[in-house]
Structure 1
Amino acid sequence: MASSLLLLLDDIASVLDDVSVLTKVAAKKTAGVLGDDLALNAQQVTGVNADRELPVVWAVAKGSLVNKAILVPAALAIAAWLPWLITPLLMLGGAFLCFEGVEKLVHRFLHKAEHAAEVERHVQAMVEGGADPARMEKDKVRGAIRTDFILSAEIIVITLGAVTGQPFWTQLAVLVAIALAMTVGVYGLVAGIVKLDDLGLHLSRKPGGGAQAAGRAILAFAPWLMKALSVVGTAAMFLVGGGILVHGVPQVGHAVEAWAIDAGALVGSLGSLGFNLAVGLVAGAIVLGAVELFKRLRGGGRAPAH
């Protein structure tokens, strides 16, 4: 009896150790998507009234939990009955990440005037009172939840790829752990980021030179943080997406790994990252070109109006 109990406890400890190790592996693989998730969601909440920022973040976080409650069972079903789909889904997720990254760059550098005009229209509507704040808030929440579903699907699929071949309960535990950790981590950080300006304003109004200086520093730092998150998130899209595509073709993935080992730790790591980045950029450009071509063909060959 005692020996059976000890064996059971040893088995439980072994499973928990496996879950811990695999969760760390999955967390590393999904870190790039996490950076993009954080940047996108922080941007989605901007423009909301200050007193509604945290309720909006909470509403999106609840939507994110619902998304993951749908995605985790779906991922487990795929692993159980359609395991051959995991690699194609990973490749599709990687290609989509690269496509999103290139689309961001194109929009940022080739459509500056359109973006500026859109922002101006939004600001003008708010100033003139023509926009319904409650409706705009609901639209923002719905848009953020849709974005979260896509990014959550990528996180879950990448995690599923890391636990392929493991027992069902280990897969379930790792997927749930990643889903909860990512949700709490992302939306906890988003809540902190969107309230940074309020903290800076509060400190800048307090008596005492130190508090006011800290407040001014925070106010100056907050916009730069948002820009940095956007840049890091976009770069992570190419690195993660390109890495998924590279490792999805075993011959290429093994060749890159072998070269990285021969080149040494620093050069090998930088070279692998550079290769993943290049593959991500090229793949994203190809997918974007295919999407634009499809749109034009569907529109009867006419170029989209600007």
Structure 2
Amino acid sequence: MPGGLVALLDDIAVLARLAAASADDVAAAAGKAGSKTLGVVIDDAAVTPGYVVGLSPARELPIIWKITLGSLRNKLLFILPVALLLSAFAPWALTPILMLGGLYLCFEGAEKVLHALQGDHAEEAVATIEDPAALEARQVGGAIRTDLILSAEIMVITLNELTGSPILTQAGVLALVGAAVTIGVYGVVGLIVKMDDIGLHLARSGGAAAGFGRGLVKAMPLLLQTLSVVGTGAMLWVGGGILIHGFAQFGFTAPEHLIHELAVGIGRGMGAIEWAITALSGGLVGLAAGALVVGALHLKPGATH
């Protein structure tokens, strides 16, 4: 009996070591794969604060929480199983799906640029909905729909980094990256949308913090405007980059090679400049692709903008 117990404990120890090693593999793979999604994460964090514009400050955090739950549902209940099935039975479909999502991001970015050039009437559209519950439902629904595209991009980009990994490792990494990105992004978004309230609290408290609080309140409109610009730029940069890389995967490598040579030639070993040239090139490609989609939609009979 003691010998059997010792053997059982040995077996448990071996399984524990294997589980720990697997956990380390998952964590390492998640870190590497998650870094590839940075552009989409920036896009997500920059776009979401706009969905609470025109809503009651008391409802801002509850709305962000609803969007967070919707994002987790998108990633873990819908996208993750589909991504694993595609990885197992139709890996060839991942790149086209990624490119379709990238094209959608280009379309969204180009449409925002068009709105800015024509005069953005988004706030007027929000103001026309008088029922607070209906307005909240519309904003939350719109945020979750946009998140579905961004979440799909994050999960597929992550999955592309796991080629050849066991299915359980893929599932673990996708779940870890999905949960970590969601909590991180919407935690930051929650902080951003409450910064004005924090500033007001500090301004009323008196003392040394009061000046900082007043500065924070004054800075918020500029911060939100900057985030809107960053979000639009990220949509175009990420979407264009996905299209460029996707075409290279299908053998049309000329744009990717041209951009790489341009970035290296101008940057001359300076990584930040090379990155900026690559991102700018991706943004221009994204703007052109998105403008084509916007133009095509406007050619449809009865299309309105």
TM-score (norm 1): 0.84
Please name the residue that 2:213 is paired with. 215
Amino acid paired to 2:242: I
Q: Conserved in 2, the CA contact under 8 Å of 1:246 and 1:252?
A: no
Amino acid paired to 2:134: R
Matched, 1:179 2:178: yes
Q: Which of 245, 248, 267 in structure 2 is aligned with 1:247? A: 245
Secondary structure at 1:205 match in 2: helix
Deviation of 1:287 after TM superposition, in Å, equals 2.4
Q: Which of 70, 76, 80 in structure 1 is aligned with 2:84? A: 76
CA distance in 2, matches of 1:276, 1:305: 28
Matched, 1:23 2:33: no
**In the TM superposition, what are the counterparts of 1:192-231 in structure 2 within 5 Å?**
192-208=191-207, 210-231=208-229
Secondary structure at 1:219 match in 2: helix
Please name the residue that 2:142 is paired with. 143
CA distance in 2, matches of 1:305, 1:156: 33
CA distance in 1, matches of 2:105, 2:11: 49
Aligned residue pairs: how many? 289
CA distance in 2, matches of 1:93, 1:305: 23
Amino acid paired to 2:161: A
CA distance in 2, matches of 1:157, 1:33: 11
Deviation of 1:13 after TM superposition, in Å, equals 4.8
Q: Conserved in 2, the CA contact under 8 Å of 1:45 and 1:140?
A: yes
Mind listing any 5+ residue stretches in structure 2 that lack a counterpart?
1-6
Deviation of 1:17 after TM superposition, in Å, equals 3.8
Matched, 1:264 2:250: no
Mind listing any 5+ residue stretches in structure 1 that lack a counterpart?
none
Please name the residue that 1:119 is paired with. 123
Secondary structure at 1:165 match in 2: coil
Please name the residue that 2:4 is paired with. none
Q: Conserved in 2, the CA contact under 8 Å of 1:35 and 1:229?
A: no
CA distance in 2, matches of 1:84, 1:26: 19
**In the TM superposition, what are the counterparts of 1:70-109 in structure 2 within 5 Å?**
70-109=78-117
Deviations along 1:234-283, one digit per CA (max 9) or x if unpaired, are: 22222222221222114347635863567534354343333322322222
Deviation of 1:122 after TM superposition, in Å, equals 4.4
Deviation of 1:40 after TM superposition, in Å, equals 2.0
Amino acid paired to 2:231: G
CA distance in 2, matches of 1:305, 1:214: 46
TM-score (norm 2): 0.84
Q: Conserved in 1, the CA contact under 8 Å of 2:42 and 2:231?
A: yes
Q: Percent identity?
A: 45
Please name the residue that 2:3 is paired with. none
Please name the residue that 1:153 is paired with. 152
Amino acid paired to 1:53: E
RMSD between superposed Cα atoms in Å = 2.7
Q: Which of 30, 47, 59 in structure 1 is aligned with 2:54? A: 47
- Change in 2 beyond 3 A, CA 1:136/1:278: closer
Deviation of 1:291 after TM superposition, in Å, equals 2.6
Please name the residue that 2:287 is paired with. 281
Q: Conserved in 2, the CA contact under 8 Å of 1:67 and 1:152?
A: yes
Deviation of 1:75 after TM superposition, in Å, equals 0.8
CA distance in 2, matches of 1:253, 1:165: 28
CA distance in 2, matches of 1:271, 1:236: 14
